[in-house]
Amino acid sequence: MSDPKLTLISHHLCPYVQRAAIALTEKGVPFERRYVDLAAKPDWFLAISPLGKVPLLIVKQDNGAEAVLFESAVICEYLEETQPGAALHPADPLTRARHRGWIEFGSSILSDLWGFETAEDAKAYNAKRKALFDKFGRIEVELGHGPFFSGETFSLVDAVFAPIFRYFDVFDTISPAGVFDGLPRVTAWRNALAARQSVRAAVTDDYGDRLKVFLKNHDAWLLKAAA
């Protein structure tokens, strides 16, 4: 068997890596994963990653040369444009543009989520909790009857939000934050994504343990709130 033409350079916890992994799986495209330690970035990684971040997608071309793509949005768009399998973007230009907007909204949630999970005191924790609750409230209004963001069809918006919800699968076992309270459509969407095979396969089995170690290393208030 020939080597996969696509290699996804990954980190075990990165939600942006998960987006790309989900898209690859939804497309049914074979790929290899290679993990890096972002706390001790190897020289080969720094040489090919302009921003020193994951994900990277290494594309082995027919002539044997390798091209490197960086940034999850770029990688997912490339996969949508070049790979067979189910479409992950709507065909209608206006709907597609709106989806791209909600993908950016998901990235803004990840920014708040970083502050939430690394908060070292109750004030910062509660401020980020409120920001998250407010943003998920906006999504509640946007959602239809599901099971996915735009109905029956899985899209890149779903690939973006699945890793966000995964954080709370772990957080809720420690100290439930209640950011989905009173949001039945968001909750149903979260459950539908958690059951999706591509979503489950996007992380290793020890994801939860690794995230808890991350919280401990950052002296997260989330752990203190559970005490």
Residue type, position 54, single letter: V
Angle at 210 between CA 159 and CA 147, to 5 degrees: 25
| Marked catalytic residue, from 14, 57, 79, 183 | 14
One-letter amino acid of 10: S
Q: Supply the DSSP symbol for 58.
A: E
Within the chain, where are the H helices? 15-27, 43-48, 72-82, 93-118, 122-142, 156-174, 184-194, 197-200, 207-217, 221-226
Q: Is 76 assigned a catalytic role?
A: no
Place of tokens 């990688």: 75
Catalytic residue positions, numbered: 14
